[in-house]
Structure formats: structure tokens, C-alpha cells
Structure 1
Amino acid sequence: MRKIRCKQTGLIFFPAFDWAISPTHPEREERLLYTRDQIFEEGIIDLPQIAEFTPQLASIHDIARTHFCVPQVESQTTEAHLIAAGAAITLADQIVAGLIDNGFALVRPPGHHAMRVVHGNRGFCNINNEAVMVEYLRSRHGLKRVAIIDTDVHHGDGTQDIFWHDPDVLFISFHQDGRTLYPGTGFIYELGGPCAYARTINIPLPPGTTDDSLLYIVDNLILPVLEEFRPDFIVNSAGQDNHYTDPLGSMRITAQGYARLTEKLRPDLAVLEGGYAIETALPYVNMAIILALAGLDYSNVREPDFWPGRFKETSQRTEQLKRLVDGLLKHWKNRDTTLTGRGKTVNGYYEREKLIFYDTDYIEEHQTEKLRICSNCTGYLSIESEVSHGFGQAGKVLCLSVPFGACSKCRNEAADLYTGAKKSVVYNYIYLQDKSSDYLLGYDTKAGKEWRP
């Protein structure tokens, strides 16, 4: 008789003992140590439904496929960053190969505030682990449509930035209202670029939002959108700082709420992001998520100070949420008939200006972003980025990104711009990122040196 394999969930734990912003910073290794102790004490790791893996390192090429790291990838990453991103890749490889059903990368450093261009650390993030993994899957395994559901209390502005112009990546983020919390973004009018309208969906929630509202959003907005989008792969950017005890957020989500969210969402891969209530939240929330991923009973996973009915929604908040969901669904249904973007079109390019602040490294960046409007593909992206470090100028860089599925005209035009810019004295560094051929180049204008990541 053929033996039926039980459903398996892959886990990777990586506390990153050798990486810290400071010894007492909220983003420190204890975030995972308490969880790992809890998982071992409860015997979860020994269940046949659980398989633990050792992470591989993401390559420099994997990072450069997603990010423009200034001046080079090695300048913005440590081994811990490569392991954290590599853990997501390791589990994704196993899932795509059919060796496990789903996975949870419990890793640090986090990544969802890291944008396409990287000059330093912002929001505790240098490298976007989920984005690196998604671009790896699309390049190496040919996956076309991916959905990323960000459940962190902070808006995933880095992930949004990376996929803003990509119609094949659906990014949905629910988070505490940006008017009340870092990074001050993630409003309902942020809906994606002109070729990817409503592939970005933001759900800003008022402080104090509870499990009931969270699950209403899942049932009435996220799941219907996912059903229509039909992704090949679903990623949960699994921040847990919506928990009612988290010191950085002001929400009221419980471990049971996170478990039910996971059960409904059924992500292929969850990747840990925020969550800073090290003792009172993370061991319970992480265990509940693991059990939900593995299809096991999570009903007894409860925080010691929680009781049913502790948090209740007001009728006013419930009505406000329903109006928010209805409005976002209208944007989604009009996604292929509406051109949008908080920018302007000039000489065949869609342009927008961006000001980005790196709160950890105190860097101010100004970007001029231009998207080539093309009738044959989604067009290539040109980004001029200039930063200031305190009182000193760090210079200007030019970043050219050619998307998956780009037409030959756009590929050639971007390559010509790269070649022409090498003769310029305006830029310190020039980068070409051709995802359609996985061809990456960088150029140091002062040294006259070119490299391939």
C-alpha cells in the first residue's frame, strides 16, 4: 500500500547573533530565542508535520537582481542579511519542488522597509527578504504571478516601492494608520503605477483594531482579490507587532487572530518581519502561526492575560471599516480601465519625485523616477538618486531596471542609456538591472571600473 505523506511545514530559525543595531534595540536576537524555546518545550519541532531546514546564503547576484545597493551589495549587507534572505529562498525552493507544503522563515534582520535603491538602514531593514525571494522565484523557477500580504503593524513601504510598477505582483498591506505610526505612508490612494493600478492595495487601520475587524478584511477584501488575481505563490510578510502587547504599535490583535488569519490566507511561505513583545506575544503568535500552517489544532494557544471578549469593536469603527473595504474593492474592479499615479507623463515617461528618509542611518534621499511608457511591455525604469549624510554630500547615482518580459526595444534603450551615462561626470555610480535576461552591471565613474554582481 502506498504511504500517504502528511502535510509538512518547513521551518528555519535564524536569530542572527552577530547582527544588532545596538545591544538594547527592540530588534534583537531575543525576538526568536523565546519562540524557539517555546517550540521545543511544547514538542512542536518533533511533530511529523514539521520539518526544520538549514538556510543557504543568498548570493550577491540574488540581492542585486532586486536592489540597487550603493555603492555595491557588499557595502549594505552582512552575512546575517544574506542568510535571512537565503532562508526565504531555501524554503521557497522546497515548496516549488513539492517537498514541503508551506514554510515559515523565522529570521532576522527584517526587510520590508528596504526599497529598490539602498543607501543604508531604514526601519531596521537593509535588504528586503521577501522581494529578493520573489525575484529569485520568478528568475529561476519562472513563476509569473505572486501575491505578497503584509501583516506588519508598519506599512511595508519598501516592498511597495519595489513592486509599484509591476502588474504581476499583488501587494496588499494592512497596518496601523500612517498618520499615527512610522513610516507615515500606506494610504488608500497609494495604488500602484500606471501599468499596475490596484496591484498595490493599502488598508490603513485605526489604533485599537481587533481580531474581528482583521478577519472581516480578510474575508471581504483580501480573499476575494486573491481569488481573482490567481497567484502562483502567496507570501505572508509576517509582522507580529499588531499584537495587543507590542511596544511599538497600538493594535489589539491576538495569537488566535493571527492563527485564523494564517488559516484563511493559506500562504505558501511566511517570512518574519516585526514583532517586539518578546515574551508576551512572539512565543504565542509564532506557535499559533506554525500550527495553523501545518493544519494542526491551535485553539489552546492563548496568552496568559487574554480572555475571550477582552477586546470589542465599536459600531462606528465597524461601519468605517466596511466603507474602506467597499472603496478598495471598487479600485480593484477598475484595475484594468484606470490609469493612475501621483506623477506626470513627459516625453513618453511617467515621472514622480520621491523623498525618502533613513531613520536608522539618518540619510535623506531624493529620487527622480521615470517609467518608460511602452505599448509592448510595462517599460523600463530609470531612477536618479541623490543623498546627503548629515552635512556631507554622498553624490548621485543612476539606476536602470528592465522588468521581466521586457520588449527588445526597452531592453536596448536601457542598455544604451547605461553605456551613455558611463561617459557622464554627473553620476558617481551607474547600474543596469536587466531582469528579463538576469544580466546585471555596475559602474564606478571615478575609478572607471565596471563589475558584474
Structure 2
Amino acid sequence: MVSSAVVWSEELLSYDFGAGHPMAPVRMALTHQLMQALGVLDLPGVRVVPAPVATDEELTAVHTPDYVAAVRRAQTEEVVDHSRGLGDEDNPLFGTVHTASARIVGASLAAAREVWSGRADRALNLAGGMHHAMAGRASGFCVYNDPAVAIAWLLGQGARRVAYVDLDAHHGDGVERAFWDDDRVLTISVHQHPGSLFPGTGYAQDVGGAGARGTAVNVPLLPGTTDAAWLRVLDAVVEPLVAAWAPDILVTQHGCDSHQRDPLAGLDVSVDAHRAAALMMAELAESHCHGRWVATGGGGYEVVGVVPRSWTHLAAVLAGRPLAPDTPVPEEWARAVQELADVGAPELMTDGRPGTFRPVAQGINPDDGVDRAIMATRNAVFPSHGLDPWAF
């Protein structure tokens, strides 16, 4: 039986940029309520563990001391610092900006500790995935970079190799930058093309620093990319690279803003494909990462119909008990949606799509835009891993 830890504290809802901001804490509240209503948190082998606030020492494994001090000042003195992204349109200040942001980092560290210590095979921090934050700057709704801090902690604990897979619609630029020259960390980001979406980075030819060539992997996809093509990328790029990398642990970011209804991105992916991707990550962890898997949330701004369903599927996969796609949404959760968001809830845990794809082993179509993106990335990085880009 798989053992899994879900990191959760109500205080995680205090990461709140205010009314009208896309990253509304209601998305986390509704996700937690849906997980409870469907019994995911009560499954055998699942434990809920608290989310502590990360210390300054933990934060400065990735962030500069000056930046951490600036975030603290922003909380206590409401000091706007545009040079560090604090107080701009994406990252407005709020009263607990340091504490709430550091708690998200603490939650991902708690997840990493659970897995690395052996107390759990897998662990989940749905509040995490703040992948845009840089060493000295907030960016893209992200104040501190919890995946990067967790990975740095794992390296400090003796992990020889870590694989990080980022499935957010936006490029995982902050995590990539943190380990750009570190040959112990493989970062893979599957995202919407940087010519069409923030942060405008993450091209196939961006492959890592001089001492770590091939450890930064990017697959930029054109707007409108659908389920079958999106999942095909995971099969064609992510799986062979993680297999070749043979990491000690897998860390994944599951931003669900790739969904067709997300208001901030332009991909055409479904909840069913998100579920399929989670299953693929579970298989990678079991086959190539000693079963060790730490997962986080990320972006996702259709906060009622998409985020709760996508991440509840993820939690169930981590628990080793995937939910059937056609599982009905519980009535009590639908009532909570009406009360919290004043909109109707979806009836099922599916968008009615099959969540399937054509494996790359069946060949590449040079006239297909996604296949061209796949080959651009394979050509850029596969040789660094001793892999033949054209071997299917």
C-alpha cells in the first residue's frame, strides 16, 4: 500500500493578494473541501501533516538575505519595493505577505521531509508550486519559490539527483534559474509558447549553464494545444529523460492553468488530461525514482470548476486510489460552491474527454506542430543524456 502525506493548514488560505486578484484563496478552500467530501483524506495510508512557516535560514538556501529582509519589511512596514517585485500589479502587498509566503515554503519542505525520511512514499502541498519567484525578486504571483527551496533542501540532505517536472501553462522559470548551473537537478517545463504568454522564457534551446548542459529542458507549445498532444509530450520527452536521469526523487508542479477554461492562458487541456498526467508522474516515480514523489499545485485561475477537480484527482493518485473520471461531485460540495462562489458546480469529476494520446513509439509527424516542438526539444537535450533523439 502506498503511504502519502498531504500537507495542510487553514493558515495556507492567508496567501491572499486581495479582491479581484486571479490567485484567489477560495480555490484552495474549495479543493480541500472537495477532497474531504470525496473521502480522499480518509483513504488508507493518507496522513494530513501541518504546514510550518519556513525559517529565514531555509529560505536563504535559494533567496538572498536582502530579499527575505525586504519581504519582511513589506509585511511589517508595508514598504513597496518595485525593484524586487513587491507591491506591483502581480504581487500586491498584504498584511501577512512574508508569513503566508514562508508557510507555503514550509509546507513544501514538510512534504520533502516526509518523503526523504521514509515516513511517506509520496507527499503533496497543493498550496505550493510558486515557480516564478527568483532569488531576489517576486514574480508572477510568487513571493518565495517553494519547489526550489525544497529541492535545495533535498540536495543538502544527500540527494544526488533530483528531477523536477513542471506542468503549469507558464514556464517554470524561477526553478530553472535556481539550478541553471547545477548538474544535480534536471528541470523539465512543459508550457505555452513564451511568445504568447508570461514570463516570455523557456525555448527549446534553453538547456542549462556551461557546467550543466542538458539539465534544463523546455517544451514550448502553441496556444490551443489539446489533451492528446499535451500528454504526448510527457511520453516523448519527460518519460525518457527522467528514466535516463535516474533521480533519487521526483518533484512535480501541477499548475492546472493549462485547462481550456483558464482565463490567463490559452491551452486546451482538460481535467481528464490532468488526471492522466498525474498517473504518468506516479508511474515515473515508481519506475525511476525509488517510489519517492513530492507534488505541488501551482497556477490555475478557473477556481471553481477546474482547480478543485484537477487537484483532487492529483491527491487521489498520490494516495494510490485514483478516482474514476465519472465520479459524481458530492452534493455538499456543490452547496459549498454556491455559498462561497455563488455559481453552479460541475456535476462530475470529468470534462468528458478520454485523456488518451498516441504514443511517440508510433512515430513522429513532421507536419504536426506539437511533434515539431517535441523534436526541437529532443534534439536540443537528448544527446547530453546519451539518448538518440530519433530513437522511438
Band the TM-score falls in, shorter-chain normalisation: 0.7 to 0.9
Aligned twin of 1:10: 5
Q: Distance in 2 between matches of 1:183 and 1:159?
A: 13
CA gap 1:31/1:312 in 2 versus in 1, 3 angstroms: same
* 1:199-214 to 2 correspondences below 5 Å: 199-214=215-230
Partner of residue 17, structure 2: 21
Structure number with the higher strand fraction is 1
1:321 aligns with 2:370: yes
Opposite residue 82 of structure 1, the aligned amino acid is A
What is the deviation of 1:301?
4.8
SS of match in other structure, 1:195? coil
CA distance in 1, matches of 2:222, 2:19: 32
TM-score by length of structure 1 reads 0.68
C-alpha distance in 2 between matches for 1:287 and 1:84: 19
Unaligned runs of 5+ in 1: 1-5, 338-453
Unpaired runs of 5+ residues, structure 2, are: 75-96, 286-292, 328-345, 359-363, 387-392
Deviation at 1:181, TM superposition (A): 1.0
Residue equivalent to 1:334: 383
- In the alignment, what sits opposite 2:260? 244
Q: Check whether the contact 1:255–1:301 (CA below 8 A) recurs between aligned residues.
A: no
Contact 1:14/1:106 (<8 A) preserved:
no
Residue 134 (structure 1) aligned to one of 145, 151, 154 = 151
Give the superposition deviation at 1:151. Answer: 0.7
CA distance in 1, matches of 2:242, 2:68: 36
For residue 120 of structure 2, what is the aligned residue in structure 1?
100
Deviations for 1:19-57, whole angstroms, at most 9, x for unmatched residues? 322222111210101111111111221111321111222
For residue 198 of structure 1, give the secondary structure of its aligned residue in structure 2. Answer: coil
Q: Distance in 2 between matches of 1:145 and 1:168?
A: 5
> What residue in structure 2 maps to residue 30 of structure 1?
26
Distance 2:323 2:265 in 1: 24
Determine the structure 2 residue equivalent to 1:195.
211
Q: Does 1:112 align with 2:131?
A: yes
Q: Give the alignment of 1:7-406 within 5 angstroms.
A: 7-14=2-9, 16-73=12-69, 74-75=72-73, 78-107=98-127, 111-118=130-137, 121-139=138-156, 141-266=157-282, 267=285, 268-301=293-326, 304=347, 306-308=351-353, 319-335=368-384
- Number of residue equivalences: 327
2:108/2:150 contact within 8 Å kept: yes
TM superposition shift of 1:238: 1.7
Evaluate the alpha carbon distance shift between residue 214 and residue 228 of structure 1 in structure 2; reply closer, same or farther with a 3 A threshold.
same
- 1:317 CA drift (Å): 9.3
Cα deviations by residue, 1:423-453 (Å, 9 ceiling, x for unpaired): xxxxxxxxxxxxxxxxxxxxxxxxxxxxxxx
Alignment-mate amino acid for residue 51 of structure 1: R
Q: Secondary structure of 1:65's partner?
A: coil
Q: Which structure has more RCO (C-alpha within 8 Å, separation ≥ 6)? A: 2
Q: Which amino acid aligns with 1:35?
A: T
The structure-2 alpha-carbon separation of the partners of 1:24 and 1:223, relative to structure 1 and needing over 3 Å to count, comes to same
Task: Tell me the alpha carbon deviations over residues 368-400 of structure 1, each in whole angstroms, 9 at most, x when there is no partner.
Answer: xxxxxxxxxxxxxxxxxxxxxxxxxxxxxxxxx
State the distance in 2 between where 1:271 and 1:71 align: 24
C-alpha contact 2:241 2:385 (8 A) present in aligned 1 = no
Displacement after TM superposition at 1:311 (Å) = 11
Distance 1:279 1:52 in 2: 23
SS at match of 1:136: helix
2:85 matched residue in structure 1: none
Q: Determine helix, strand or coil for the equivalent of 2:219.
A: strand
Q: Percent identity?
A: 26
> 1:308 is matched by which residue type in structure 2?
R
User: Take 2:249 and 2:134, find their aligned partners in 1: how far apart are those partners?
Assistant: 21
* Cα distance change, pair 59–311 in 1 and its aligned pair in 2 (3 A): same
Native 8 Å contact 1:288 1:301 kept in 2: no
Q: Aligned partner of 1:332: which letter?
A: V
Which residue identity is paired with 1:279? V
Give RMSD over aligned pairs.
2.5
Q: Secondary structure at the match of 1:28?
A: coil
Query: Does the 8 Å CA contact 1:213/1:318 hold for their aligned counterparts?
Result: no
